[in-house]
Amino acid sequence: MRAQLPQPVLPPEQLSFAMSPEQASDEALLANFGLYDAYYRARLAARRPASVVTLAKDKVQWHALCKHFVTERVVAHNATEADFRSFFAQPERRDNHIRNRVSYLRLFDAVMRADAEARRAAEVPGESTRLEWNRAARRMLESTEYIYADTVANKQPSVFLTEADDRKLRDHLFVIPKEGTAVELRTFVYMAVMRGSGATPGEIRTLQLDEIDRDPSGRVIRLRMFGRGGVAGKIYVLEDFAERALTYWLRWNEGAERFSDRGFPMVDHPVEAKRVQFVFPNLYHTSIDRHGQAIDSDTCTLCVKRALHGLGFRVSGSVTQMLRTQFGSVLLRHGNDTAEVIDRMGLYDHRSLKSYTEIAAGMRGAGVRF
């Protein structure tokens, strides 16, 4: 019998399957973690720099993803849609308290792009300037499956307080603190204005000095926000404790004696071509030199949550939005009709009133207690 000749073995890439994952070295897997450094530097140097709180949250997400890559022995530059899907299927992803799949995909794309830009900047002038990075996450973000992927998953029930505990909160906000730090005072005033105006958290967080109406004695009367984002103006009438707190904050900052953590510096608006003074600015002693720019949302949420927990409110979730929810639901509970609430809160979408109506009617329970 004639012996068979040995048959040639085709290389793996010609058989249309990936190379063995074991070929990813430990050094290459550890290098995944280091990709975050270029992203970190880019976010600090951006026109609207990220806060320490935001960057810390991003780092938690990135490390969670990299740990999965280590388990699967995947180099970030070679990650595929299948790798992301296997990561999203892991129950351990919930251990870092960040469940949004889209946020992981956006972060991955941003980190890989920042690394590509850093490598291109280090190239010899005159050589290739083409910007290339792993766009697997970007392709997933642009797919129909992920455009609205987390809309339902992130739709959490409204957080609100019982009527009695909301009264305790308002009583607390009426008494100006006599001691504490500038950050604690800023948080106190922000909470008072947020609870006593009906404006959105973003509107109050980026409130500008010229959007406050005051009487001749300097007492705050109302907030007027005209032309924000190209929309019609809004006027917010403040409750007594909010007027009192905001008036104190303005006078405290505008006093003759200035310290490093006082005052409303004139700064460039991060988006619009104008100079502004933000009412709730970042302070000098923040680790990122952004004194005068508006406090960012992550830092604001963290400060408000700590303050509420310090008062005994064990609330979680969207704590800044909770203050606005209290405002709308209490108005309805005290007899204001829906048209008045819509006008006072500047609501463009009347469907936003549904949750306030259900809370006022007791259809969503009694609320969080001390």
Tell me, what's the pLDDT at 261? Answer: 63
- Is residue 204 within 8 A of residue 197, CB to CB? The reply is yes
Max intra-chain CA distance, the chain = 112
CB atoms within 10 A of CB 298: 17
Can you say whether the dihedral through the CA atoms of 91, 92, 97, 99 is positive or negative? Answer: negative
- Write down the domain spans for the chain: 20-147, 163-360
Q: What whole-number distance in Å separates Cα of residue 347 and Cα of residue 49?
A: 30
Q: What whole-number distance in Å separates Cα of residue 184 and Cα of residue 13?
A: 60
For the stretch 240-290, pLDDT in tens is: 999 999 999 999 998 755 555 678 888 888 777 889 999 998 875 444 556
- Is residue 92 within 8 A of residue 58, CB to CB? The reply is no
Q: Which residues in the chain come in under a pLDDT of 50? A: 1-2, 10, 12-21, 285-287, 369-370
Q: What whole-number distance in Å separates Cα of residue 275 and Cα of residue 270?
A: 9
Tell me, what's the pLDDT at 46? Answer: 80
* Nearest alpha carbon to residue 68 among 43, 85, 56, 51: 85
Tell me, what's the pLDDT at 243? Answer: 96
- State both tokens at 13: 């890439």
Tell me, what's the pLDDT at 155? Answer: 56
DSSP summary character for residue 162: -
Q: What whole-number distance in Å separates Cα of residue 199 and Cα of residue 350?
A: 15
Tell me, what's the pLDDT at 208? Answer: 93
For the stretch 303-343, pLDDT in tens is: 999 999 999 887 877 788 889 989 988 899 888 888 888 88
* CATH number at 163-360: 1.10.443.10
CB atoms within 10 A of CB 170: 18
Q: Structure pTM?
A: 0.71
Question: Both ends of the chain: CA-CA distance in Å?
Answer: 90
